[in-house]
Structure 1
Amino acid sequence: MLTPILLSLCFSQPGDGSAITPEPREEAWWLQRVTKIQNEVDNSKKNADIIFVGDSITQGWEGAGDAVWDNAFKKYGALNLGIGGDRTEHVLWRLEHGHLDGIEPQLAVVMIGTNNFGGGQDSIDEVYEGVVAVVNKLTEEISGVHVLLLDIFPRGESFNKMRGDILQVNQALQATYSDVKNVTFLPIGDRFLEHDGTISKKIMPDFLHLSSKGYQQWADAITPTISTLLGPTQSIAHPATGIVVQGK
């Protein structure tokens, strides 16, 4: 029997390559990852207060960042919706085909767009429009959600053209969301840079993906804002068993 995801793929039409046109990918491993996320979404039973939306850098919370994730975000029932190599159009397709079904997160942490430069050949304007489309999709589909939009992280050992393009997208996003009630733009990319503007292999071993130390810096950068938006968590004893669980 075909799953809903497989059925969606069967009837999907090829996209035009646009950063704002929802489009699936054809790799078997990608479909496996999509299905894995769908199962986690289905099993969350609306207990996820936070979702993380993005590409391989977000997916890496399950790899190099797993210990940091457990310490910082597990208490929120956080779901990881990151898939390696995804561009904005792929995220849009996933958000339209099940990855938001039945969940009611209070907060969506978004970091997407680097693959539109690295894996695709989109212009600065197209990448900006793609990120905005992802934010719009989240706020349209999830009632009352607040989007914590992060800047596209710097990449490459030292400053280069792609970093300059990324910087322009980030500046445009910051201007767009400087005073939007349900969106907070939080630029944290500079935290990954050395004083001379280079990136250390201790933070990004390949000058793109984060190490465990890099994920700790990411968590440290956003947890104060998360606490402000959601309120602090506290331990609550289950009335019947006395077992301590996490709640707000």
Structure 2
Amino acid sequence: MNSDRIYSVLVPVLRSTVKSRMGAGRRRYFDAVPVPPGRVLFIGDSITEGGLWGDLFPELATSNRGIGGEATYDLLERVDAAINAPVAVSLMIGTNDLHGPRRFRETAQIAARLEEIVRRIRDRAPAATLLVNPVLPRTAYFAPRIRELNARYADAAARHGATYVDLWPRFAADDGAIRAEYARDNLHLTPAGYLAWAEELRPHLAPFGAKEPA
């Protein structure tokens, strides 16, 4: 059976358990250890959390504020606290909305929440480089919705002076599924997937490589 069909059935049932077990500990840690100023901030869900950003970008002062299992409505609860004078922000969020509670799955709703996150980042860090990453491809089952969602993400980024980082050509196969070498379960990235993502981000983050951490 298609993994995305399975997620769509099971995740809404298990969501409260997943959030409490996967996210509560990291949220407590983030509350106790604020992001230092002057960082390149990576924020999002498990795809961001799994990135070894300090190793992928050794020339940058980075902070990883990814939490597994989170959707746009979860990130809205904590994004303000994560923004502390960053030099750049890499944002990737929304894939968990696709298989979350049915009342939150509409593409327009997801995009509206993403735009609110972007607006809050812009308000708190108007001078920072803001990189809006798309929802990555999964299986072909979700491909039409993800394409529509990413078009809305690109529009939201443009409205707020952010840069939309179009990862779709790099990550998607001809049928709209994620390329096999980039994902281990049609969702979470392999090392090759992280290397490919970092390669796409590198030109946007290059200006900050010579700066010392604050």
TM range (shorter): 0.7 to 0.9
Shift of 1:196: 5.5
TM-score, normalising length: structure 2:
0.80
User: Matched residue of 1:51: which SS?
Assistant: strand
Q: How many residues align?
A: 195
**Contact 2:173 / 2:179 at 8 angstroms: preserved in 1?**
yes
How many percent of aligned residue pairs carry the same amino acid?
Answer: 24
Match of 1:41 in 2: 34
Residue number in structure 2 paired with 1:129: 112
**2: CA distance, partners of 1:223 / 1:189:** 16
- Return the letter of the residue paired with 1:167: R
- 1:175 matched to 2:155? The reply is yes
Task: State the structure with more CA Rg.
Answer: 1
Q: Which whole-Å CA distance do the structure 1 matches of 2:79 and 2:155 have between them?
A: 25
1:141 aligns with 2:124: yes
Contiguous gaps of at least 5 residues in structure 1: 1-24, 236-245
Looking at structure 1, the residues matched to 55 and 192 of structure 2 have their Cα atoms a distance apart, in angstroms, of 14
2:20 alignment partner AA? E
Asked if the contact 2:111–2:149 (Cα under 8 Å) also holds between the matched residues in 1, the reply is yes
Residue in 2 aligned with 1:206? Answer: 185
1:60–1:30 distance in 2 versus 1, CA, 3 Å: same
In the alignment, the residues of structure 1 paired with residue 107 and residue 175 of structure 2 have an alpha-carbon distance, to the nearest angstrom, of: 25
Check the 8 A contact 2:61/2:213 in 1, yes or no. Answer: no
* Residues 215/149 of structure 1: CA separation in 2 closer, same or farther (3 Å cut): same
Aligned-residue RMSD, C-alpha: 2.4
TM alignment of 1:231-246, pairs within 5 A: 231=207, 233-234=209-210, 246=212
- Give how far 1:247 is off: 6.6
Range 204-213 or range 76-85, more displaced: 76-85
Aligned to 1:77: 61
Question: Structure 2 CA distance, aligned partners of 1:129 and 1:185?
Answer: 16
Deviations 1:219-238 (A, max 9, x none): 001101222xxx15238xxx
Matches within 5 A, 1:54-133: 54-61=44-51, 66=52, 69-96=53-80, 98-100=81-83, 103-121=84-102, 122-133=105-116
Identify which of 194, 202, 212 aligns with 1:215.
194
Aligned twin of 1:9: none
Q: Could you tell me how far 1:207 is from its partner in structure 2?
A: 0.4
Q: Which amino acid aligns with 1:89?
A: Y
Higher RCO (CA < 8 A, seq sep 6+): 2
Structure richer in helix, relative to its length = 2
The offset of 1:199, in angstroms, is 3.1
